[in-house]
A and B are shown apart, each in its own frame.
Chain A
Amino acid sequence: AQSVSQHNHHVILSEAASLELGCNYSYGGTVNLFWYVQYPGQHLQLLLKYFSGDPLVKGIKGFEAEFIKSKFSFNLRKPSVQWSDTAEYFCAVRRDDKIIFGKGTRLHILP
């Protein structure tokens, strides 16, 4: 079945640590890729998106993601996390106008 997989369900890091959250998808063909963030008690916000072009995408708040087509991956990275990055992160894939989300990764940053 076509799916979006986020490998880490819960990640705990100290401030200033580097972050990488994995995302793999199983769709063939052309896809659009997204990372969304949901801060506690807030709605979903777009972190970054990939449609075409440079596979290394820069987003807001210092986040970036790299699309590796051969690996069907779109991992999210941040060199140095902050306490305010504590949130839930969702990878999403759009194909044929439908968006399918991964199960989310809950990130907890220790001050």
Chain B
Amino acid sequence: GQNIDQPTEMTATEGAIVQINCTYQTSGFNGLFWYQQHAGEAPTFLSYNVLDGLEEKGRFSSFLSRSKGYSYLLLKELQMKDSASYLCAPTFSGNTGKLIFGQGTTLQVKP
């Protein structure tokens, strides 16, 4: 497998910052997606990283280190609506572009 590892659950306070980490095997790695999934709904695209570094998109940023097999999703100014599951999904060469998802991190934002 691709040994994708992310925390199962996290809790944070409204207005705070939270970082969700993801590690994966580096062999054959292409790029990495982050998806958000609210309960009972489809996953929605947040970010795609292929180069090392931080990419910022509004309140959400995503970081990638290819050599370390490590990514994180940073959520700033947390809102109650950010309570959801966050899915890390690396892609690998030769696998038809399919996404291999981690188990997801369930984030609960509290008032």
A interacts with B: no
Q: Which residues of B contact A (CB under 8 A)?
A: none
